[in-house]
Structure 1
Amino acid sequence: MNQTPPSGPLAKFSAFSQFCARVWALSAPYFRSEEKWKARLLLIAIVLLNLGTVYMAVQFNDWYRVFYDALQNKDQTVFWQQMGRFSYLAFGAIIIAVYKFYLTQLLQMRWRAWMTRDYLRRWLSHRAFYKMELGRYTAAANANESPDNPDQRIQEDVHSFTTATISLSMGLLNAAVTLVSFVGILWALSGSFGFTLGGSSYAIPGFMVWAALAYCVVGSMLAHYIGRPLIKLNFLQQRYEANFRHHMVRVREYSESIALDNGETVERGQLDGRFTTVLANYLNLIRANKKLIWFQSFFGQAAVIFPFLVAAPRFFSGAIQLGELIQISQAFGKVQDSLSWFVDNYDTLASWRATTDRLTSFEDSMVAQTQDNESLVTTPSNALESTGLKLALPTGAVLLADTSLKAHTGDHILLKGPSGSGKSTLFRAFAGIWPFASGSIAKPGNAMFIPQRPYFPNGSLRDALAYPEPASAYSDDALRQALEEALLPDLAARLDQEDAWSQKLSGGEQQRLAIARVLLKKPMWIFADEATSALDETAEKTLYERLLALVKASGGAIISIAHRPNVAAFHDRQWTLEKQPAGSNALYSLTASQLPQGGAAHA
């Protein structure tokens, strides 16, 4: 039987409980980690300092009473006594404030550092970063819910979450303890409020407490009603800002291509459109905040004068002295501040909730990727062999179905097919990184892949060449020899130069540097995806001859993807992806054939 979802107050309580559970799920791992004792001790110290802050506030409240009574009575002796008392109270409050700030910042920093490193470790484990990017384009992915901009999640949202969580939790603790501490003081000072109704006399004990409670309950309800749109607006603002920033990064990354295509106008238009979205949402955010600030300002200003208005009749009647009036005002202010914590922090709470929601979606996505049971089984082997291989696109379309193939040592295989037929996807399956694959693949362990767009980390050239291994694993002579064999002799003298090599080098130089990396590491098997597409025929011939010589010497094989017909001369076998008729169980099928002339002659 279908259950009716909760509504009204029950739905709000359920949503609040779920939010608290999300905050706990994000927070608890740090306080259970290898740093748990340091984290817990810092947290306990901060809690004690917050309690000390409340204790000092109670002492100051009593000081106000005695001090102002001394002024009213013109008692010079008590006046100077209270000045001395104020000195040590102020000194104690200063020490507490300084160490509360220091330890709070220290806990925030340590928590952020641990959480950031934990997210980086998990994001870069089990290829979660790669699968999450692919997951954004699946047919089932919801663009409004799929985690985007993981860089923002890790760099910005973790910082915002740890800061807001500690600040708000300590603020709530402070408010609760302050309320408990001052409500008794206010109750005792406010006396009873007497009135006559229907010929009967009534008295309300501690009426100032009830007045503060009513004042703040009404204020909290109005603040929630006025500020509720801020939650969604803050969430959207972070997304739009990140999308705008990401687009600018892409313009910088592809600056040369955009310049060659004269695409500045298009990019400016797209950036202007994204920035217009940022501004439009920000304007809505400003308007929503303006409404909330209108209310908060009115609420706060009215709270200043409210206790004086209520207590003034007792003061003018002589029931209380000036010191007690001031003490009532101070105690009422503390109770009102405590009860108004929700009102005063509504905008911060809205931003905190938006940050928590973003981190939760990021966390859920990472967990889903690392726990995903891939149906592609890979086993080590001296040859490459697939059985029952099925490849699909992120959209769900099947590229290949029930495909079996085999490559032996000594093979030089050319993989051909129309653009978009899944050649690179097949390579990804060979590497074991394609999540939309099933079947089994036996593959050699000592293999290297040369992708269409090789990656080079920013830094020294030796680091870019040795990546992902440390450059110290190779001698300078080995690094220089690899560069010279890859037709990059000019770079051999620049091993220690630091630069953004992906932007510094031309497309052809990047391809040669990727091949230099292969020549340096000397794998047995090489998978080359358009590895020489940006080179002239002479350079292509020279480099393929050296790659073939490498795999021949190591007893391996080479499998290449290429569209240029002259590349076939370096291979003796061909795998061809052929388009299947409509209604077939896959878009393409793979056939193997022998090339009329092989690359053995070039080796």
Structure 2
Amino acid sequence: MSQQRIPLKLTATRFVRAVRIFMTSDVGRQARLLLFALVALFGGISALNVVNSYVGRYFMTAIAEKQTAEFIRQAILYTGAFAASTIVSVIARLAEERLALLWREFLTRRAIGIYMTNGTFYRVGVRGKLSHPDQRIAEDIKAFTITTLSFVLMLLNSALTILTFSSVLWLISPLLFIAAVVYAAFGSYMTIVLGRPLINLNHDQLDGEAAFRSSLIRVRENAESIVIAGEEQRHANLLLRQFDALAANFRRIIVVNRNVGYFTTGYNWMIQIIPVVIIAPAFFRGDMEFGVITQSAAAFAMLVGAFSFIVRQFNSISNFATVVARISSLLEAVEEAGKASTTDVEVVETEGKLAYEQLTLASPTQETLLKNLSMVVPTDTRLIVAGEGEAAGTALFRATAGIGASGNGRIHRPAREHMRFIAQRPYFAPGTLRQILVPTQRPTEESDDQILALLERLGLARPLTSSDLDEDQDWSSMLSPREQQLIVIASVLITAPSYVVLEKADTIFGHELLAEILRLLADRKIACVNFAEADAPRAGYDAVLEYHADGSWRWIDQGKRP
């Protein structure tokens, strides 16, 4: 598992930007009110802590001097102070959780909105510059919001503690105050030196965990294919190699945690001894009452704890730095993918027309696949696109669908609601079969009986009833790939777009069923473009677009002219 250097300056910039966007958003007013309430609540907690320190001082002095009446009075005050601290702390915790949830809701909605717009999620995955964006949106945003807010409030609490207890400790003993500052500074420095490798190690661990989980999901999704191919052991070996890498990285984390743990544990134990050692001589001389010892120990612990924020929270801070860096890289990748493509192929939405204008396409190695394609696909036309090799056909299909293509020229096509693209492997989001067959934006007057009859005519072997159409299921896993293709074809026939563009429909449906589908499309006056295999039968089509290895092309009229 490779070590990655996390760009701390960029991470800090992204962090500040994320906070600013949230605070200036439409929920920013509510967020600011919650934040102000938290500041007030933590101020109250800090004040109550000071009160508790003095009540505890007099309480212990009353015990040492055997003053029963004073002991009872201070015990009552102690109980009241603790009750007030409990109430304020619980309310502050509730406000903190509400603000964290509000922030997570905002960031998640914004991230999904950007991620799922204009094919950004596709380009992020294809370019390979971001690993596991799904985990970053689901888990890292959650960790980012909760941990950020927790750290901000802990820093606020530490600052208030320093302000309030510095004066308390200085009044008890200036030497004790100086010792607290020096001791905390030394502890913070040593913790950073010993624990700094954790930041990159935690980053690699999160990525490795996501990759391992993703591999397990792929095995589950392709279980049947793996069993049929007899490749269980191969996939088991792959999973074990990934887990071994995870375990090796975690062992390195354990070593660093051990070193940090040795130091921080001893550091925390010494906090209990140092104030007593400094104050005890004054007590022995009779210069201080006994309660001052307990107050100084508590005040010293509170002040050193506030100054030692890094020592106490270093493991959480290292995890937090990792999460911020991953969120930073998510934003960077999404923004880069969302930028206009560098290709010179322009896709223009034109009402009722699919046409190519001086279109030239090239492979990733800049080999010309198709040169100067200029043609119009007439409405109510069945066109087959085939030729030598498959690279040119695949590139033209992807360019027509609006997926980034290398080349130049212009593609005119109808708006998405008037054009359907059917890839070799469709995907159905969980929902009802009716939602798949009849999208809400394309209502139909077809009755349930007509829909079921159409599915039967297309050869769907699975018997369905009207109730099945409204059953909420994960149809993508329940239906075979062929059945899914038939459902998509049925949806096209029901909603009747102007054009349907198919990818290798001849290999999916076979000649006889494809001929029937072409007839059904013709009956509904839906233009069809099939990007087929080179040797696919050309009967049943009105025209052929034939491409050649040198990038040239030819239109062959079999019934209609462009």
Give your verdict on TM over 0.5.
Answer: yes
Q: Distance in 2 between matches of 1:473 and 1:71?
A: 88
* Correspondence list, 1:21-420, <5 A: 21-136=13-128, 146-190=129-173, 206-372=174-340, 375-379=344-348, 380-393=350-363, 399-418=369-388, 420=390
After TM superposition, the structure 1 stretch with the greater mean CA deviation from structure 2, 413-422 or 269-278, is 413-422
Q: Number of aligned pairs?
A: 551
After TM superposition, the structure 1 stretch with the greater mean CA deviation from structure 2, 450-459 or 384-393, is 384-393
Counterpart of 2:3 in structure 1 is none
Counterpart of 2:555 in structure 1 is 593
SS in 2 for 1:487: coil
Q: Distance in 1 between matches of 2:555 and 2:373?
A: 15
The letter for the 2-side match of 1:53 is I
Q: Distance in 1 between matches of 2:445 and 2:325?
A: 44
After TM superposition, the structure 1 stretch with the greater mean CA deviation from structure 2, 304-313 or 471-480, is 471-480
- 1:491 correspondence with 2:464: yes
Q: Distance in 2 between matches of 1:394 and 1:64?
A: 75
Q: What is the Cα deviation at residue 410 of structure 1?
A: 4.0
The letter for the 2-side match of 1:31 is M
Provide structure 1 residue ranges, at least 5 long, that are not aligned to the other structure.
1-13, 137-145, 191-205, 581-588
- 1:510 correspondence with 2:484: yes
Whether the 8 Å contact between 2:397 and 2:531 is mirrored in structure 1 is no
**Could you tell me which of 424, 428, 435 is aligned with 1:463?**
435
**Could you tell me which of 402, 414, 422 is aligned with 1:444?**
414
Whether the 8 Å contact between 1:116 and 1:154 is mirrored in structure 2 is yes
Provide structure 2 residue ranges, at least 5 long, that are not aligned to the other structure.
1-5
Q: What is the Cα deviation at residue 537 of structure 1?
A: 3.6
**CA gap 1:188/1:390 in 2 versus in 1, 3 angstroms:** farther
Q: What is the Cα deviation at residue 574 of structure 1?
A: 2.1
SS in 2 for 1:459: coil
Q: Distance in 2 between matches of 1:115 and 1:475?
A: 42
The letter for the 2-side match of 1:441 is I
SS in 2 for 1:389: strand
Q: What is the Cα deviation at residue 397 of structure 1?
A: 5.9
**CA gap 1:309/1:562 in 2 versus in 1, 3 angstroms:** same
Q: Distance in 1 between matches of 2:269 and 2:116?
A: 51
1:492-512 Cα shifts (integer Å, max 9, x gaps):
442123332222222221221
The letter for the 2-side match of 1:127 is G
**CA gap 1:17/1:313 in 2 versus in 1, 3 angstroms:** farther
Q: What is the Cα deviation at residue 436 of structure 1?
A: 4.2
SS in 2 for 1:497: coil
Counterpart of 2:515 in structure 1 is 541
**CA gap 1:165/1:437 in 2 versus in 1, 3 angstroms:** farther
Q: Distance in 2 between matches of 1:572 and 1:152?
A: 48
The letter for the 1-side match of 2:54 is D
After TM superposition, the structure 1 stretch with the greater mean CA deviation from structure 2, 149-158 or 264-273, is 264-273
RMSD over aligned CA atoms reads 2.5
Give the % identical residues: 28
After TM superposition, the structure 1 stretch with the greater mean CA deviation from structure 2, 463-472 or 268-277, is 463-472
SS in 1 for 2:264: helix
**CA gap 1:110/1:175 in 2 versus in 1, 3 angstroms:** same
Q: Distance in 1 between matches of 2:388 and 2:328?
A: 41
Counterpart of 1:433 in structure 2 is 403
TM-score, structure 1 as length reference: 0.86
**Could you tell me which of 501, 515, 522 is aligned with 2:475?**
501
Q: Distance in 1 between matches of 2:302 and 2:372?
A: 73
1:124-175 Cα shifts (integer Å, max 9, x gaps):
1121111112221xxxxxxxxx222111011000000001100001001111
SS in 2 for 1:569: coil
